[in-house]
Amino acid sequence: MQTPQNRSYAPRRSTTGRPHPTTHKAPIFSAPAIKRKIVTTLSGGTTDHPKLKVYALGGLEEVGRNMTVFECGEDIVIVDIGLQFPEEDMPGIDYIIPNVACLQGREKNIRAVIITHGHMDHVGGIPHLLGKLGNPIIYTSAMSAGIIRKRQEEYREAPAPRIILVNSSTKVPLGKHFIFEPFHCNHNIFDAFGVALTTPYGVILHTGDFKFDYSPVNEEPADLNLIAMFGNRNVLALLSDSTNAESPGHQISEKVVGDELERIVVNASGRIIMGTFSSLLTRAQQILTIAEKLDRKVLIEGSSMKNSVELAHQLGYLKIKPGTIIEETEFKKYPDNRLIVVCTGAQGEKNAVLMRIANNEHRFIQLKANDTVIFSSSVIPGNERTVQSFKDVIVRHGAKVIHYQMMDVHAGGHAKQEDLKLMIRLTKPKYLIPVHGNRFLLQAHSDLAQSIGMSKDNILLADNGQIMEFDNLNGKLTDQYVNTDYVMIDGLGNGDVSQVVLRDRRMMAEDGMFVIIATIEKKTGRLIGNPDIISRGFIYLKENKELIEKTRMRAKHLLKDTDSKSPAFEEYIKNKIRNDIGQFLYSQTKKRPMILPVIIEV
């Protein structure tokens, strides 16, 4: 049997009828300490029947950084390589990617990387990690492939991804122990799919991000027949999306959202300005279709939004009539009641288009009293206060605000409780492994499964890095862990932010910094003149002259207390100033600014 590396795949057609061309085109620090038995190599089982090992390098204790590893013998298969956006206490960090240290030295065993869909929490780590993994072949859909290639353009030193496109008829052997088959699911991006891996012990299903939508936009509903067929093939384990495990009912259909949006546009007397995610292309298609029906013109604003729409249109996912989308130069030629603006910024991002419009900082769009602003996305947890303040600003301009809590102008991309139950009933897994969510969401998914009769003993609630083992007898959580410490990206660097750097940033953010500049004679260490003092984010110098003078005199005394017959030892002097002045300032203010001694030797 040929391996995927030397097999040639002919173009296939997807379930939506679009052609699928075939193309091939860090210092690390520990998260909060948890006592875990870390292993650096994985082995076990007999030669004939090696144990199946499953572990997540991210996505089980957070929303984001999704990456799951499946191992059997010498075969390794990876599902998704995503990023996670930073927490509030990570100043200057752009995002966090998975730690792949446990795979180093075994790159040749990686048979494939499977990407379920094109959202950043599933593909964002690829430019940083693909080279470290030996540039294995990526199996994914056309939409995801386009997003991966587009993002790769920003990272010229990263290897060009080797991509093979798949659809619901694909069946690919990956090494000796895995056979990969995708199954179509709905999400809020085109061409999302789940993963079926046939193993020596049964089929393992990974849903990716999914929902069941019986009337989606520009694609087929989820393939329930195929999913049910897997359920009749001895499903060993189901790894299922837990993002909405606390939300009762079914996720609403995109058709409901489209109907609601059309009613809003019909009743609007002025411009429609819709903020949404650049990756939410189903929403873009809906508003484009409505505009064509009601003789409105659409302006796409924001570079990420423009890139996404252009890519989806090129690949045949978006259907747009000529003349529907207009350029900036045409915008003022049309009356307000014929204009729709689709842009980024529904989360209140400070540099996004919608924020610039609301603050009158946009080059040619300013809010008017008869504008209708639609927030067509749910609020990301942690952004609530920002979005509320953002809405206040818009309303003060006289515009009308509509959001998903008022009307059905947004459908989430994740299954709610009834859909999660349906997935379990269709697949009939022996074991359930809740994934994609904080621990409380994974627990909610577990409780839901137990409510429909699944045994608690057959639900594996794992931590990031915790190894799950399966064999002919059972599946279990082990006490072994692989390293899943954060790898933080700052700028375009790859894991170049250490724990020390982050600690310093936190310190400066909380208590500011205090700079002491002293000029000393190199041969003797004698102080020349008085030390200069600079304070940033700690105290205002003009209002604290007495404290500044006391500190200056203390520093002067420290610098004079040296042996005039010996040369200056710069590091010794700096540490002496740092420790003494730090203690003194804390005793006076109960704050701990970062002390930065600057020694100029002459």
The residues that are catalytic are 241, 414
| Angstrom distance (rounded) from CA 525 to CA 601 | 8
**Residue 535: how many CB atoms within 10 A of its CB?**
18
| Angstrom distance (rounded) from CA 449 to CA 148 | 35
| Angstrom distance (rounded) from CA 282 to CA 258 | 10
Residue 341, beta-bridge partner list? 273, 299
Torsion of CA 391, 395, 397, 401, to 10 degrees: 80
CA distances to 58, 147, 237 from 234, rounded to whole Å, are 27, 34, 9
3-state helix, strand, coil in the chain (%, to 5): 30, 25, 45
What one-character-per-residue DSSP string does 42-61 give? ---B-SSSBPEEEEEEESSS
Ramachandran category for residue 97: left, alpha or beta (phi over 0 → left; psi -120 to 50 → alpha): beta
DSSP 3-state assignment of 239? strand
| Angstrom distance (rounded) from CA 130 to CA 139 | 13
Residue whose C-alpha is closest to residue 279's, from 373, 331, 363, 209: 209
DSSP 3-state assignment of 475? strand
Query: Which residues, other chains included, contact 440 with Cβ-Cβ below 8 Å and sequence gap of 6+?
Result: 246
DSSP 3-state assignment of 301? strand
- In degrees, rounded to 5, the angle at the alpha carbon of residue 157 between the alpha carbons of residues 151 and 159 is 70
Strand order of the β-sheet with 193-199 is 172-174, 178-184, 193-199, 202-206, 235-241, 431-435
Token output for 152: 């790769």
**Residue 537: how many CB atoms within 10 A of its CB?**
14
| Angstrom distance (rounded) from CA 368 to CA 271 | 9
Token output for 487: 């790898």
Residue whose C-alpha is closest to residue 377's, from 345, 423, 399: 345
Residue whose C-alpha is closest to residue 557's, from 591, 516, 594, 596: 516
| Angstrom distance (rounded) from CA 145 to CA 594 | 46
The answer to whether 444 and 244 are in contact (CB under 8 A) is: no
Q: Is 589 exposed, middle or buried (0-12, 13-18, 19+ CB in 10 A)?
A: middle
